[in-house]
Chains A and B, each alone.
Chain A
Amino acid sequence: MLEKNYLWRIYWRLAGVIMVCVVVALAVVSYFSHRVFDRELVPETEQKAATVGASVRALVLKATGYGIDFSQLYGVEQTFAEVFEENPEFAYMAITNTDGNVLYARGTEPIGARTHFRNPVVLQIAHETTDLSKAARVGQQYIVSMPINNDGKPLGVLHVGIDAAFVDHVLLEVLLDVLVVLVVSLFFTLELLNFMAGARLASGLGEFARQVDRMKAGDFTATARIRANDEIGRLLRRIDSAIDHLNVRYEFLAGELQDKVRTATAQRREALKPAQAALEAITKRLRFGSAPQAADGDEMNLNRIRAPLFAFILAEELTRSFLPSYVNQLIVAIPGISPQVVIGLPIMLFMLIVALGQPYLGSWSERVGRRKAMLVGAVVATIGFTGTALAYNLYDLILWRSLCALGYAMVFVAAQGYVLDRTGQQNRAQGFALFIGAIMVATVCGPSIGGILADNIGFRASFGVSALMSLISILAIVRLPATEAVLPTGKPTRGPRMREIMALVVNRRFMTLTGLAAMPAKIILTGVCFYLVPLYIVSIGNTSSMAGRMLMVYAVMMVLIVPLSASFSDATMRRDRYVSVGLIISGLSGLLLLLSDSFLVLFGVVFLLGLGQALSIAAQSALVAEHCQEEIRIYGHDAVYGVYRLLERLGNALGPLIASLLVILWGYQGSFVALSALVLFCGIAFTIATHGSEWQPATPAHP
């Protein structure tokens, strides 16, 4: 454990240094961008101010044309206010007469405006008969001035003030995205450190730690391994050689003793007794000789799955924040189905294919080999992403998305199998932590970056990036070890049988866990995060980037809370209570939208949803093992978990469907609220259902 923590300390320190460098670099880029923005945007905005001003002037002249006195106009300020509403970068507008006295004004008057208006040069503008306008910096504004001139008769001057800080506002909007980039960079750094150096270092240090432990326990068996030619490798070789020496010495001594005993007389034999006793004591306490050939470099190979998995999942996650909007753009009216449902259709189908495909793909990947299965999956998905990027309309889009789904399911299952093949009872949890870790980091980085990309280079090009990412994952998969680890217990895994599904679906205990906890949790996850958030955000006039940020909040919550709740749920509280609390928090999330429909509230929704899901997710599946022991005994562990996962994933597919139907009935906000209410109801029902004594943990770990 020491070595793991040690390595992470190093990583964090390295990441810290890298982040500081990145922040400085970003500041430099922002500073120069600001300079460019300032220099280029201001003249453009002055041009626009001149055009807007001309339009206001035309209105004023129209009014005076109807005989209304120039100084008796009504509602001029109202006109100015309307201009501000459409052009937030304008801060001040005024009309003066030919003496420079302000007749009408609205907005924040810059310091020094009055003197500026009376400046003879400025007053001269009133006598211009051309469309000329002049700009000058006054206080915190750029004032664009133009004549109001009725057929040669000067009436006054119109001034439009541009807030000099508007450039700052423009850049502030970028800053939010830059912050997202920073967060993503941090996760990216850690992932890369792990990929570039970590896999080897971690396995090296792990090996070192195990060696120390082994020797402490008196195991001095020599391991015949090829050590890498790096720092850790050299270190391990030193230890190996020390052990070798020890072994040689032992062999020699043992041999010598044996020789002596064989050739000795009875009397000498007696004298050799203490030595023999000592040797016996040694062989009892310590072990020498050569160790059995251990599975070669399993831990290191395990680590190698992380990079390709991350790259592949990232490709899919990139699309989360804008896929619904893209579908919306390509939509084709399907008679009899509401467009809301049609938008959800590709997501639904994706989840369905993943759910139904997984059990069968599991045994398939075992037959063809994990690496090959991943390779096929990634190729299929790459074709899918490319097709999606070039999709003609909804129909072929659905085909392409189905390919993505198939590829996703293949890679997911094969990678899972890869981890299973290379872990034993004791390090399986660690193996899955690695597997989940790669996925989680991808969910943090994907949607936010995807949203930014979609806003700037468009949906299609963003899918192109996904295809590229998927292609990169192919390259990483190719580098995986070609030899497959064969499970010692060669029992092929299989999908759950219909009979088992039927039996479990009517089992009350099993369905309390699945139907009231696991499925609702997935329904609200896909319904809200994959369907409602991207669509609602865009429908209220916000961007895909914002949707991406929302989804990032969710993912960050998961990354931060899941490890905590996983360790706590074993220690402090009954697992089912965690699930209850998690479900209820998830269920409360959408109700926030009853308060206000601002997108800030939506952040709260996603935050609570992330918190709720993170609390319950780790405990949920463990509960099955805890409470369905009877069922596991009858149907077997694999079958029970197979059905559990199948139903959970069907929940994934149901999410967008239910959400879209609710949108038709009650609109986006109503759908959020109703979906949450459903989960809240399930959460409460689950709490009540698990209250009874039959739900007490079989072995109360903590009184």
Chain B
Amino acid sequence: MGTIRVRFIIVALVVSFFAVGMAAFLNYFKYKSTISGIVKSRVLVIGRNIENSVQASLSVGMQFMELGTMNQLLQREKASDRLIRGIDVFDQTGQVLYSTERTRVGEKVVNAWTEAAARSKSTEWGTEAADEYVAGISLKNNFDLTVGYLAMRYSAEEVDRAAKVAGREILLASIFSFLGIALVAPLALIVVIRRFERDLRALEAAASHLEDRTEPALPTGSAFDGAIGNLRSSLRDANGALDDLRAKLDSVS
């Protein structure tokens, strides 16, 4: 009686593995995107403060290349959040104009930054490297010409740590609920399968007595009663006809 039962249970396990796996996947990624969204928007709040200052300076006629207080401003804003590792302002060619680290001024930023900034359809952009995330803002002048970009580098650690903790717990919860299913589902399925198996058994039992000329076994209550009845009556009919022939033959001798 094994094969069908095993097959049904395998189906149950495969499906619940899929469902629980997808749910864990969804929860984990939702968590990760939410938390990195929160952290990013926190960094962007600081970025907006800087943008406002730059905007004010530009609109009173200062040159973007000659914002004297910029480096200090960046230093001050960086200090306001321990998450931020550094802030750079670079121009369209990727050359750093201002930075919290003096040594970076004049250097070129990695291509990924300029590409991400160029690709973004809004003024905000971002990239994610292995250990460092970047949240950026495109700085525009009074006639919407992009004059440069603001990039805030922040540690990926915070997000990663949180994601790792949550990931582990969600994974554990999923494994346990999957194991739960693996234990419960076969039991629950057996109730349904039993009935099916009983029907099949009844059918088989009926079939094994097909040739008994005895009157039909009591109805099994299965869905196959009709079919079995048919089968029996067909066989009976045929046997009857042959019996008749036998009798006729015998009567001659």
Contacts and interface: CB of A to CB of B under 8 A. Distances in A.
Interface string B9-49: 01110111011101111110111011100110110011011
Contact of A278 (B29, B49, B244): B244
Interface stretch (B98-106, B141-149, B195-203): B195-203
Interface string B220-253: 0001101100110011001101101110110111
A29 B173 contact: yes
Nearest to A193: B11
A178 interface: yes
Nearest to A9: B223
A201 interface: yes
A505 B242 CA distance: 65
Contact of A22 (B20, B29, B235): B20
Contacts of A192: 11, 14-15
Contact of B192 (A17, A245, A250): A17
Contacts of A28: 173, 176-177, 180
A29 B200 CA distance: 38
A249 B235 CA distance: 12
Given A25-B16, A285-B241, A51 B81 contact: yes
Given A18-B12, A54-B80, A282 B18 contact: no
Interface residues of B, number: 88
Question: In this complex, which of B26, B173, B200 has the most chain A Cβ atoms within 10 angstroms of its Cβ?
Answer: B26
Interface stretch (A180-188, A318-326, A341-349, A354-362): A180-188
A275 B8 contact: no
A489 to B, nearest CB: 34
Nearest to B190: A17
Interface stretch (B62-70, B87-95, B132-140, B207-215): B207-215
Contacts of B189: 14, 17-18
A25 B252 contact: no
B188 interface: yes
B116 interface: no
Interface residues of A, number: 94
A87 interface: yes
A174 interface: yes
Nearest to B196: A10
A interface secondary structure, majority? helix
B15 A188 contact: yes
A275 B199 CA distance: 41
B203 A197 contact: no
Contacts of A2: 223, 226-227
Contacts of B45: 48, 51-52, 55
Contact of B35 (A10, A17, A41): A41
A281 interface: yes
B157 interface: no
B23 A181 contact: yes
B46 to A, nearest CB: 7
B241 A281 contact: yes
A148 interface: no
Nearest to B208: A238
A177 interface: yes
Interface in A124-150: 131
Nearest to B2: A230
Given A174-B30, A192-B11, A48 B38 contact: yes
A170 B34 contact: yes
Interface string B170-191: 1011101110110011001101
B245 A6 contact: no
- Which 8 A/B pairs are nearest by Cβ-Cβ distance? A32-B173, A238-B207, A275-B248, A456-B29, A215-B234, A25-B177, A33-B27, A197-B7
10 contacts: A33-B27, A33-B31, A48-B41, A55-B48, A170-B30, A181-B23, A185-B15, A231-B1, A245-B211, A456-B26
Interface of A: 2-3, 6, 9-10, 13-14, 17-18, 20-22, 24-26, 28-33, 35-37, 40-41, 44-45, 47-48, 51-52, 54-55, 58, 86-87, 131, 170-171, 173-174, 177-178, 181-182, 185, 188-189, 192-193, 196-197, 201, 208-209, 211-212, 215-216, 218, 220, 230-232, 234-235, 238-239, 242, 245-246, 249-250, 253, 256-257, 260, 268, 271-272, 274-275, 278-279, 281-282, 285-286, 449, 452, 455-457
Given A26-B19, A33-B173, A275-B252, 8 more contacts: A17-B185, A22-B16, A24-B181, A29-B170, A33-B31, A193-B11, A220-B238, A238-B210
